[in-house]
Structure 1
Amino acid sequence: MGTSTAYGGPGGETPLVPSWLGDADIAGAPAAPPGDGAVPNGQPPADGAVPPVPPNRPPIPKTADPQRFSGARNSFTRFAGSGGSDRVNLGRAVSRYVSTSAGGARQAAQRMGASRGAGARLLGFLADAQARGVREALRALDLESLAGRPLTEIFVGLADYVCPGASTVDEGIAREAYIETIVELASEGLTDLTTFTPDQMQTVFELYATHAIEARICNDIGTKAVTMPVDTQAAHRVEQQLRDFIRGGVSDALTRARAETPNLTPERIQGFVDALYESAFAILQTLGNAEADQ
């Protein structure tokens, strides 16, 4: 939604997390020989020695359920058709996306590969700017010329650092979520990076993660397969209801994460972000179930 990349959704047979396999061409690998020490003719070696057993190869991923998107897609279509008033089907759509379409909160978080990396770089820059000052944080990235510029100009200048790629759907989601975050900075009262508080840092990251998760869900469900209201105001309500719902889950996850990790060092930022996405999806599934049960 918004400026998020739209396509028809992944094919149902696509593995849940296809891009996290190793580099080995496991599909075309030869079959491993039997592990009983036999040679190709089935006879043991003449000297009685047992030949080494080759290392286990990673298993070929199972074909995913081709219908795993249908439940979330159908519920979201009903929610969209209501003009944003059907909270029951909003909850069902989000809950079914996490539990069935993505395969659980951990798998859903793994699908956020580029957005997790971008989120960590964004949070790392904000933490550095608060610790050492904006100019020093920008100098470390060879962007000192942005010091003293308006906040939106600084964030635009950071775009290639935060989101270095845009050649895949995953990278496109990360970059467009970042762009939408920049658009919302002023409306959130975020105008001066030199005076950012920890709460304002949380707000920036909260905006980013919200847009990234929203775009991931909409792309996976397949926005072209979902009928949106013709009325512009109704379509906007649908978009805003979904975004507010996701932001609530992200905000809860951030509050918990900050309580568990009050001192966020540079070495812990990526792990913090990874855990936060997983926690956010788990909370969204819980919130979705609660809406669906009403």
Structure 2
Amino acid sequence: MAGYVSRTAGGPRNAARRMGASRTAGTRLLGFLGDAAVRGVDQALRSLNLSQLAARPLTEIFKGLADYVCPEGGDDDKSIARDAFFDTLTDITEAGITDLADLTVGEVRTIFELFVTHTIERRLFNDVGTRAISLPADVEAINDIQAQVHDFIAGGVADAVTAIGGILPDLTGERLPGFVDDVYERAFRLLAAMGEAEADK
């Protein structure tokens, strides 16, 4: 991970910049979730001209939000963001978050952190696919690495959000893009540092 961030991705700042579509999608997702938590999901959907999704199950709302949060596109960056969005949907339903009508600050943070984690994870494994970094040939070993990498990234993302401080209610629309950018850069910086620390053990 340390080598990936420092060499393959060109350092934490460049690594974050490579996440352009994911940062945009993260800003849109967090903006919607924050609006839903403060004003209610019906009002948040109405502001996006998605009133038809009101009172629908969470899975249907998220599927309906997909084209707003992460529109389909032809490049890898946009595909990573969209795939991560649906990965996040799977995770939040498994985590027991089934209703957007009574979102708590903790649930908003959980959903956002899951999304960021999945985007970084998918970017990493996309680079594996393009042979930027290598993995062992053993399938069981690869699965073990994937599980460890996911947990490692999730920890780095959570620490980054904690270091920056609070998501709601202080975060406004104008501050959202800078907040999301900062989360990605700090997450990559922390992941590099954590990876170096593990390598030194």
Range class of TM-score, shorter chain: over 0.9
CA distance in 2: counterparts of 1:259 and 1:152, whole angstroms: 26
CA distance in 1: counterparts of 2:74 and 2:120, whole angstroms: 19
1:220 corresponding residue in structure 2? 127
2:104 corresponding residue in structure 1? 197
CA distance in 2: counterparts of 1:293 and 1:222, whole angstroms: 27
SS in structure 2 at match of 1:148: coil
SS in structure 2 at match of 1:283: helix
The alignment status of 1:230 with 2:139, answered yes or no, reads yes
Residue 258 of structure 1: CA displacement? 2.1
Which stretch shifts more, 221-230 or 209-218?
Answer: 221-230
Matched residue type, 1:229: D
The alignment status of 1:118 with 2:25, answered yes or no, reads yes
CA distance in 1: counterparts of 2:39 and 2:128, whole angstroms: 42
2:87 corresponding residue in structure 1? 180
2:60 corresponding residue in structure 1? 153
CA contact (8 A) 2:42 2:51 kept: yes
Once the two structures are superposed, the pairs formed by residues 21-40 of structure 1 within 5 Å of their partners are: none
Please, which runs of 5 or more residues in structure 2 have no aligned partner?
Answer: none
Please, which runs of 5 or more residues in structure 1 have no aligned partner?
Answer: 1-93
Do the aligned partners of residues 228 and 114 (structure 1) sit closer, same or farther apart at CA in structure 2, a change above 3 Å counting?
A: farther
Do the aligned partners of residues 106 and 170 (structure 1) sit closer, same or farther apart at CA in structure 2, a change above 3 Å counting?
A: same
2:189 corresponding residue in structure 1? 282
2:78 corresponding residue in structure 1? 171
CA contact (8 A) 2:136 2:142 kept: no
1:95 corresponding residue in structure 2? 2
CA distance in 2: counterparts of 1:168 and 1:268, whole angstroms: 27
SS in structure 1 at match of 2:98: coil
Matched residue type, 1:196: L
CA contact (8 A) 2:36 2:43 kept: yes
Once the two structures are superposed, the pairs formed by residues 5-20 of structure 1 within 5 Å of their partners are: none
Higher Cα Rg: structure 1 or 2?
Answer: 1
Normalising to structure 1: TM-score of the pair?
0.64
Q: What is the count of residue pairs matched by the alignment?
A: 199
Once the two structures are superposed, the pairs formed by residues 30-109 of structure 1 within 5 Å of their partners are: 94-109=1-16
Matched residue type, 1:150: P
CA contact (8 A) 1:152 1:185 kept: no
Do the aligned partners of residues 137 and 292 (structure 1) sit closer, same or farther apart at CA in structure 2, a change above 3 Å counting?
A: same
CA distance in 2: counterparts of 1:146 and 1:255, whole angstroms: 32
CA distance in 2: counterparts of 1:116 and 1:184, whole angstroms: 19
Do the aligned partners of residues 262 and 194 (structure 1) sit closer, same or farther apart at CA in structure 2, a change above 3 Å counting?
A: closer
Which protein has the bigger helix share?
A: 2
CA distance in 2: counterparts of 1:169 and 1:183, whole angstroms: 21
Output the aligned Cα RMSD: 1.7
1:246 corresponding residue in structure 2? 153
Residue 260 of structure 1: CA displacement? 9.2
Residue 177 of structure 1: CA displacement? 0.5
SS in structure 1 at match of 2:139: coil
User: Identity over aligned residues, as a percent?
Assistant: 53
